[in-house]
Amino acid sequence: MESPHALLELILDAVPQPVWVVDHAGHIVFANPAAVAVLGYDDLAELKGKPSHETVHHHRPDGSVYPAAECPLLRPRMTGETVRCDDDWFFRRDGSMFPISWRSAPLALPDGRGAVVAFVDTTERRAAEQVVRERDAAEIRAAESRATGRRIMESATAARRQLARDLHDGAQQQLVSVLLELRLVREELGTDPARALRLLEEATEHTQTAIDELRELASGIHPAILASRGLVSALKALAARCPLPVLVTGAVEVELADEVEACAYFLVAEALTNAVKHSHASRVMVTVTAREPLLTVEVHDDGIGGAAPSGSGSGLAGLADRVDALDGQLTLDSPVGGPTVVVAEFPL
């Protein structure tokens, strides 16, 4: 059986972990073969007796001088505490640097307290971490660009849908009126030229309105009258252009969001167009009330009823989408035989 001292030396010779001992003055008194090799020396003799800090730790990785007084590595000699660092660098004999992680513990030596340092070359670990970091960054970038692409697509789709609805509920509505008026003109031309002329004038007016609406849409604004005169006036103007008698009642004292105002306007426009096209109604009533927390818009016609979102038309389905997008609620009550009541409620 070897002496404990010899056994310890055998162990230190064999372990792959570099181990290093400094005396009280900070000079190297021991380095195991793993430490000698990793530091690029051939023999312990080349290191023994040299000042540890000035030999392997003299500069920082940024090239600045690393004063021994600021280095915690050998501090256990003074404090008696164990210290560690996972982010440090050592110099090899050839002047090259390598990243290390180290533990340094106080060690009682015959001449006073020294320190024993165990360290690991972390080059590979850092490279692996870098690969992981790069992969994570690439994944985040890819996810971000996917999300951006999706957002762009979604907003383009939403804008297209909005435009389609604005066209449908705005200019298209006016042109439907024009069509109906022109048909009447054809019927009346022989029998009542004076009435035919009046109808032609109305048709001309509606055509002009359609052109105005298209122009507003093209310039990206909602009906200008909404901004200049408010919802109720805009609805009255709409009613005045309708081939059916329409009574608009109500008032809005509160400030409405632009989108809500526009949605309410287009809702009434579509409901009036539907009444003209489908209901055979004799009159329509539009009621607007703004009472916290709701803006309520109701369109009531005394026609034949039976309205339902259909596969062929997009009007009622589009209204539901529009109202839904603003967290509002659309209800359609239209039993066969009538009447038809469309109610939209928007949170204020």
Ligand X SMILES: Nc1ncnc2c1ncn2[C@@H]1O[C@H](COP(=O)(O)OP(=O)(O)OP(=O)(O)O)[C@@H](O)[C@H]1O
- Which stretches of the chain bind ligand X, using CB under 6 A? 274-275, 277-279, 301, 303-310, 312-317, 340
Nearer to Mg ion, 107 or 272 (CB): 272
Residue 114 contacts Mg ion per CB under 5 A:
no
Nearer to ligand X, 201 or 333 (CB): 333
Side chain identity at residue 190, one-letter code: G
Side chain identity at residue 24, one-letter code: H
Tokens read off for 138: 């690439």
Nearer to Mg ion, 29 or 344 (CB): 344
- Least distance in Å: CB of 198 to ligand X? 26
- Least distance in Å: CB of 339 to ligand X? 9
Nearer to Mg ion, 270 or 298 (CB): 270
- Least distance in Å: CB of 153 to ligand X? 25
- Least distance in Å: CB of 168 to Mg ion? 8
Residue 76 contacts Mg ion per CB under 5 A:
no
Nearer to Mg ion, 32 or 274 (CB): 274
> According to CB under 5 A, which one of 172, 274, 334, 340 is a site residue for Mg ion?
274
Q: Which of 277, 333, 263, 258 is nearest to 300 (CA)?
A: 333
Binding mask 297-336 for Mg ion (x = CB under 5 A): ----------------x-x---------------------
Q: How far apart are CA 315 and CA 272, in angstroms?
A: 11
- Least distance in Å: CB of 265 to ligand X? 16
The option from ligand X, Mg ion, none interacting with 122 (CB < 5 to 8 A, set by class) reads none
- Which residue number has the CB closest to Mg ion? 315
Chain positions contacting Mg ion, by CB under 5 A: 274, 313, 315
